[in-house]
Structure formats: C-alpha cells, structure tokens
Amino acid sequence: MIATARRAIFLDRDGTLNHDSGYVHRWEDWRWLPGVPDALARFKAAGWLLVVVSNQSGIARGLFGEREMQALHARINAQLHPLGAAVDAWYHCPHLPEISGPCACRKPAPGLLLRAVREWDIDPAASWMIGDRLRDVQAGRAAGCRPILLRTGWGEKEAAGLARQVGPPIPVLPDLAAACAYILGQKP
C-alpha cells in the first residue's frame, strides 16, 4: 500500500487565531478572535491537519522563553481538545535578524512550513497557509501552499500590498471562519 501525503491548514498565530496585543506569551493575555475555535473544529472534522507557524521574536528579545511559549500552546490545546480542535503541531521562529542573525525559518522564508511538510508528510500543493500578514502569504507561496490573507490583525493594512504580489490572485477574507467556509467549499 502506498501512503499518500496529508493536507494541512498552516496558520499564523497572533492576529490570525488571537488578538495581537504584542508578544503574547501568557494565558492571561490570550484572547481568541471570534469564531476561531469553531473554525478549527470544522477543519479537523473535515480531516485537515492544523499546523501553527509563527514568528516569535520575543524570544530573541529576551521578553519570554521557550518554556513560557510551550506552556501557552499546551494551555491553548487543552482548551481546544474537548472541541476536537487541538492544533497538531506548533512551529515557531525564535529569531530576530538584528539580534540573532539571519535564519531560514523567519517568515517570509518558508523554513517552518518546509520543516512541517517533511516531519508530517504533508502535500504542500494540497494545503493552505492562512495569516494576517504579507509575510504569511509569501511563506505559503514559497512552500508551495495556497495562501489566504485575513483582514484580522494586520490584515486590513497589509491587503493593500497584495497589488504588488506576483502570481494568482490571493483570497482576502474577513476572518478564519470565512476562510474555513471558503476552503471547505472548494472542490477537491
């Protein structure tokens, strides 16, 4: 039997899943954007892997450490688990070029996505990258995924920059619930 690659929903974190109040690393500061847990549950019910790929320069800046971030992600998944919506994998870039030097994982580079593709046997062409920044769109495209830009977080301001993007048109949608409806409405 030949195994087939899986399909995934790659998600930015701050501004896509939660309100981006700046360097969110404590549960007390986590605020879901409307409809996000339900959208994640719908994706999971439809058989998609959920993979969060996030720049976390607060680590390079010394504002928080890996342990704090991992504890937050565990708490998020604990809340999502009863809904059948737990994130399958969390990937982050802890770097900031002016502090830690260049890296291949900080979006818009596709390093986080490509690592997940290898580790989870994901078919990028059958997968989506959803975020609120142009760098999310660029990372998704560079990894071979179809991107969606949300108007949440930085998305309203970032949408103007899409006119300068080369390639097929990129859907710009109000929020993750709308992105979920759009993706689940696509023909396979």
Given this model, what pLDDT does residue 163 score? 78
What spatial distance separates the first Cα and last Cα of the chain, rounded to whole Å? Answer: 22
Confidence bin at 13 (pLDDT 50/70/90): very high
Domain 8-17+46-131+139-184 -> CATH class: alpha beta
Mean pLDDT of 168-177: 95
Given this model, what pLDDT does residue 3 score? 59
Domain boundaries, the chain: 8-17+46-131+139-184
- Active-site pick, 14, 20, 132, 136: 14
- In the annotation, is 12 catalytic? yes
Rounded CA separation 55/187 (Å):
31
Specify whether the CB–CB gap between 127 and 10 falls below 8 A: yes
Given this model, what pLDDT does residue 120 score? 98
- Active-site pick, 12, 132, 136, 175: 12
Given this model, what pLDDT does residue 1 score? 42
Query: Does position 82 have pLDDT exceeding 90, yes or no?
Result: yes
Burial of residue 61 (CB within 10 Å: 0-12, 13-18, 19+) is middle
Query: Does position 179 have pLDDT exceeding 70, yes or no?
Result: yes
Given this model, what pLDDT does residue 166 score? 75
Q: What is the DSSP letter of 16?
A: T
Rounded CA separation 178/35 (Å):
9
Query: Does position 149 have pLDDT exceeding 90, yes or no?
Result: yes
pLDDT tens by residue, 25-39: 999 999 999 999 999
